[in-house]
Structure 1
Amino acid sequence: MQAAPNLATIRIKNLRLRTFIGIKEEEISNRQDVIVNVVLQYPADRAVAFNHIDEALNYRTITKHIIRHVEEGRFQLLERLTREILDIVMSYRQVLHAQVEIDKPHALRFSDSVSITLSESRA
C-alpha cells in the first residue's frame, strides 16, 4: 500500500493591497484597500524529501503574481477580482485545491468589510 502524500496547506493571510474596485465614480477614480486571503494545497512529498526550494511550491512567486495583477488592474466586482486571483493560483500546476477570499473594508456602512470567497479543486 502506498503512503499518503505530504499534502501541504499554505495560507497567505491578510495581504493588503490597493486597487481600483467598484462601480461608483469615486471608486473608479480612487484606489481602495482590499485584503486578500489564499489557502492552497499541494503535494509536498519532494519538498519534504529533498529540502530544496526547487521541489516546493514557491508561495513568494504566487504572491508577487497576485500583487502585480491586483495593483495594476481595474475591477467592477469583488466576484471578478476573486475569480481572477483564483485563476492565478490554479495556474500553478502543483496546486490541487485553492480558496481565495477578498475583503473590501468599509464597503457597507456599519460593517467592517464585505468579502467574497471562491474555491476550486483539480480533478
Structure 2
Amino acid sequence: MPLHAIDDQHFDHDLATIRIKNLRLRTHIGIKEEEIQNRQDVVINAVIRYRADKAVAFNHIEQALNYRTITKQVIAHVEGNRFLLLERMTREVLDLVMAHEQVLTAQVEIDKPHALRFADSVSITLSASRDPRRPV
C-alpha cells in the first residue's frame, strides 16, 4: 500500500462532519423596494469538517469545534446586516465558519424561499478548504 494511501486513511479517520440543517433566519435580502423594506426568510445549511481526534480521545468540550458558537455568530451576522445578493450573504457566512482555525473544509448553502413564483426557493452554495489535498 502506498504511503499516501495510509495518510489518507488516517486523515479520514480523524475527521468529524458537523451539519447545521435548516437554520431559519429573517434578514434584509434583495434589491427590490419591498425586499429592502421588509425582512425575508432565509434557510441556511452548513457542512463543516474538522479533525476530531482530540475530542474523541479526551471527551472534553475544549477539544471539539463549538458548533453552538459558530451558529450564534451566523445568526447575529445574518439578522444584523442587509444584503443585496444571496451570493454575498453566502460568502460572508462561509467566511465566518472558516475563521475558526479548526475548520478544514466547509460548505454553506443559503436558500431564499419564494424568490421565484413557481419554485420553492433559490439557493447559492459556496465552499472553502484549508487542505489542498481535500476537495469540499
- Dislocated runs of 4+, deviation >4 Å: none
- 1:31-68: CA deviation from partner (whole Å, max 9, x where unpaired): 00000000010000000000010000000000000000
- 1:34 equivalent to 2:63? Answer no
Aligned to 1:111: 119
- C-alpha displacement at 1:91, in angstroms? 0.1
| Cα distance between partner residues in 2 of 1:31 and 1:119 | 26
Identity level (%): 73
From the CA coordinates, give the structure whose radius of gyration is larger: 2
Q: Which secondary structure state, in structure 2, belongs to the residue aligned with residue 34 of structure 1?
A: strand
Task: Flag the structure with higher helix content.
Answer: 2
- 1:54-105: CA deviation from partner (whole Å, max 9, x where unpaired): 0000000000000000000100000000000000000000000000000000
The letter of the residue matching 1:84 is: E
Q: Which has the higher contact order (CA 8 A, sep 6+)?
A: 1
| Cα distance between partner residues in 2 of 1:48 and 1:4 | 14
Q: CA RMSD in A?
A: 1.2
The count of corresponding residues between Structure 1 and Structure 2 is: 123
Question: How do 1:1-123 residues align onto structure 2 when only pairs under 5 Å count?
Answer: 4-5=10-11, 6-123=14-131
The letter of the residue matching 1:96 is: L
5+ unaligned residues in a row in structure 1: which ranges? Answer: none
Q: Which secondary structure state, in structure 2, belongs to the residue aligned with residue 4 of structure 1?
A: helix
| Cα distance between partner residues in 2 of 1:52 and 1:30 | 43
What is the TM-score when the length of structure 2 is the normalising length?
0.88
What is the TM-score when the length of structure 1 is the normalising length?
0.97
